[in-house]
Amino acid sequence: MKKTLTNISEGDIVITTYDISEHDITRADISENDNRGDNMSKQNALTEPVYYILLSLLTPMHGYGIMQNVKKLTNDRVNIGAGTLYGAINTLLSKGFIAEYKSDLSKKEYIITEDGRSALNSELKRLRELVKNGEEILGG
């Protein structure tokens, strides 16, 4: 469902909000640009699920462990399905943000790389700026 509110305050301000009942990740959620490290400012923001996947992989973890950890970190608010998780893992592998840590016949474990850690730190900096600006403007 899409809601549009206009003329919230003086001037021609348009705010568009989306009512999203489920947080799920698709390949489109991960930037197709291959910007890394110091170029993070040019890279699109990480989606919430990708942020939590990278955060989870500060410790080596397999896919099911990632899904469970994301649910735990978000108090069951963000639930990543297996298909979309492995799509994201493949994209993050190709970007060099994560690497295969170890593999056996039943499961593969992944870990964040330095490029992934840099992207995660840049995203954290971006999120802090969002909160700071919101608190300053809203008086929170």
Which pLDDT does position 29 carry in this prediction?
A: 52
pLDDT single digits (tens) 78-87: 999 998 899 9
- Is residue 18, in this structure, part of any structural domain at all? no
CA distance 119 to 44: 10
Looking up residue 89, the CATH number of its domain turns out to be 1.10.10.10
- Is residue 7, in this structure, part of any structural domain at all? no
CA atoms within 13 A on the CB side of 91: 20
What's the domain count of the chain? 1
Cβ-contact 88, 43 below 8 angstroms: no
The model's pTM is 0.68
- Is residue 104, in this structure, part of any structural domain at all? yes
The range of the structural domain enclosing residue 66 comes to 23-138
Which stretches of the chain score pLDDT less than 70?
1-43, 140
Q: Residue 15 is inside which H or E element, if any?
A: strand 14-18
- Is residue 101, in this structure, part of any structural domain at all? yes
- Is residue 6, in this structure, part of any structural domain at all? no
CA distance 140 to 47: 24
pLDDT single digits (tens) 101-122: 987 877 899 999 999 999 999 9
CA distance 51 to 121: 10
- Is residue 72, in this structure, part of any structural domain at all? yes
Which pLDDT does position 59 carry in this prediction?
A: 96
Cβ-contact 62, 120 below 8 angstroms: no
- Is residue 16, in this structure, part of any structural domain at all? no
